[in-house]
Amino acid sequence: MRRKLFNDLYQHLPKKEFTILTGARQTGKSTLLRDLENECKKDKLPTVFINLENKELLSLLDANPLNVLSFISSQDQRTIVFIDEIQYLGDPSNFLKHLFDDHVSRIKIVASGSSAFYLDDKFRDSLAGRKRIFQLRTCDFEDFLTIQDKVELWNEVLNIRKLPGYKSLMIDRLKVEWERFMIYGGYPSVVTEPDIKEKKEILSEIRNSFIKRDILEAGVRNELVFHQLFKILAEQTGQLVNFNELSNTLRVRSETIHNYLRVMQVCFHVALVRPFYSNLRKELVKMPKVYFLDNGLRNSLINNFQDIPSRSDRGELWEQTLFRILADQHDLDHIRFWRTADGKEVDFVLPDVENPFAIEAKFNRNLIKESKYQVFQEAYPAIEFNFGYLYPWSEDFFRRNLFKGFAQT
């Protein structure tokens, strides 16, 4: 089954701008390029597929960007050239710029690349107006179900959303799938692996081997400290990032912590959420919070795959999951948190979206104490305030506003 980003990518193929597909390693970028290539062939569009892990092809294109034109046979149509792992080129930004400026009428490039490409400042500067970036994250719940060929469960989610009084005969199955989604995350190879032990092994491989490649390509010097920081952040998901404290704990400079965190962000593993404040005198928190972009990676780092009800970190895990839901619907820069010096806080505030709202994550509805959030509501009456809770489990879970971004498709 195809990822839902496929449709957006396919619709962009006729556009003049080059198409750039980005995302963490092992999120399925290569598979998605192959799906696009196959669809183009069905539509009888001329295509070329170049995988730059092939050293001969890499050497050829590094020698001269115009060598890519030798693979084009069509003189009547613009050829779609798929380039996988474009970051291996010596100067990928110049390669794309040169082909766009001089040969855009003959060639449409659809390229995937890992983080090393996007660490290059020239990518942003020289390709302005020449490319559109699409980010492929690990699976959200819709992709999680559909790539397992459980489309009937996703259709049931849509039925629940459409019919206010609808009682689902599949609600218990949806609960099992949702909890598995929270524990093992959305890497496609993990999602499609039925054996639990193998799921853990695949996550371990991603955690060790593939992230090691990110470390090498980013030029990180101290791999041990990087991994130690990664694990600490996994244990502290949803908490404030105190750079000085981390620096003292790991015995490295604060600048090193900042640099390693930047690498983790550019590699699409973590996101930093900034504080929201207006002019309340007590709003003086400046440190960001950290969240992971995949629960499975986070749980692998802390080696905790326990069932949700028995987990000591179930509240943090739910908050982490709620962040990912919001990240799939909104620009990361729009997600903030609110906290005062005396400890009052709201987990997520989105003040810059069309209809501003805030959500406090609570694992269980019985844990909610509404009076704790009165200060925020009085200070920001124009921001709609809601609670996002996981239990008690019912159809209403999929009817709440936190799902309105992707459950209406």
> What was the pLDDT predicted at 42?
95
Owning domain of residue 155 = 141-403
> Closest Cα partner for 259 from 235, 302, 224, 229?
229
SS3 272: strand
Q: Report the CATH number that the domain containing residue 49 is assigned in CATH.
A: 3.40.50.300
- What region does 219 belong to: left with phi over 0, alpha with psi -120 to 50, or beta? left
Task: Please spell the DSSP secondary structure of 163-182, one letter per residue.
Answer: -TT---TTHHHHHHHHHHHH
- If asked whether residues 167 and 257 sit together in one domain, one would say yes
In terms of domains, do 61 and 82 share one?
A: yes
Q: Which residue carries 């999929």 as its tokens?
A: 398
pLDDT at residue 277, as a whole number:
80
- Structural domains counted in the chain: 2
Do 108 and 48 touch, CB atoms closer than 8 A?
A: no
Q: What CA–CA distance (Å, rounded) separates 97 from 123? A: 9
Domain assignment present for residue 115? The answer is: yes
324, 262: one domain:
yes
- Whether 27 and 173 map to the same domain: the answer is no
Across 126-278, the runs of DSSP E, i.e. the strands, are 131-135, 270-275
174 lies in the same domain as 25: no
- pLDDT of 58 reads 96
- Asked if the structure places residue 409 within a domain, the reply is no
Angstrom distance (rounded) from CA 20 to CA 129: 12
384-391 sheet: strands from edge to edge? 289-292, 270-275, 336-339, 345-350, 357-364, 384-391
104, 134 Cβ separation under 8 angstroms:
no
CA quadruple 65, 67, 69, 71: dihedral sign: negative
Give the 3-state secondary structure of residue 128: coil
Beta bridge partners of 173: none
Which position has the token pair 């844990």? 367
* pLDDT reported for residue 74: 76
| 96, part of any domain | yes
Q: Is residue 283 assigned to a domain?
A: yes
Do 63 and 151 belong to one domain? no
Check residue 118 and give its pLDDT.
58
Q: What's this model's pTM, rounded to 2 decimal places?
A: 0.91
From residue 43, give the alpha-carbon distance in Å to each of 7, 15, 37, 83, 371: 15, 16, 10, 20, 59
The tokens describing 91, both together, are: 């100067």
**On the CB side of 151, how many CA atoms lie within 13 Å of its CA?**
5
Residue 408's pLDDT is: 34
Shared-domain flag, residues 213 and 119 = no
* 178 and 311 together in one domain: yes
**What CA–CA distance (Å, rounded) separates 106 from 11?**
19
Q: Which residue, of 135, 168, 197, is where some domain finishes?
A: 135
Neighbour-count burial of 85, counting CB atoms closer than 10 A to its CB (0-12 exposed, 13-18 middle, 19+ buried)? buried
What type of residue is 261?
L
Do 72 and 148 share a domain, yes or no? Answer: no
47-51, strands of its sheet edge to edge: 47-51, 79-84, 107-113, 18-22, 131-135
Residue 408 in domain: no
For residue 208, what are the CA distances in angstroms to 118, 197, 320, 385? 21, 17, 22, 40
| Predicted local confidence at residue 215, as pLDDT | 87
Q: What is the pLDDT at residue 292? A: 97
Structure confidence at residue 200 (pLDDT) = 98
**What pLDDT shows up at residue 334?**
95
Last residue within a domain, chosen from 135, 159, 190:
135
Asked if residue 296 belongs to a domain, the reply is: yes
> Per DSSP, which regions of 52-124 are E strands?
79-84, 107-113
Domain match, 287 and 356 both: yes
Helix H or strand E encompassing 48: strand 47-51
Name the 3-class secondary structure at 67.
helix
Same domain? 296 vs 182: yes
pLDDT means over runs of 10, the chain (409 residues): 92 95 93 96 95 95 94 88 92 91 94 69 70 94 96 96 93 97 98 97 93 85 94 96 95 95 92 83 72 97 96 96 95 93 90 93 93 93 94 92 46
Q: In Å, what is the CA distance from 46 to each residue of 6, 78, 265, 323? A: 19, 7, 36, 41
Q: Mark whether 266 and 313 lie in a shared domain.
A: yes
Paired tokens of 77: 């149509």
Which pairs from 125-128 meet CB under 8 Å and 24+ separation? 126/93, 126/94, 126/97, 127/18, 127/93, 127/96, 127/97, 127/100
The domain boundary, picked from 92, 120, 135, lies at 135
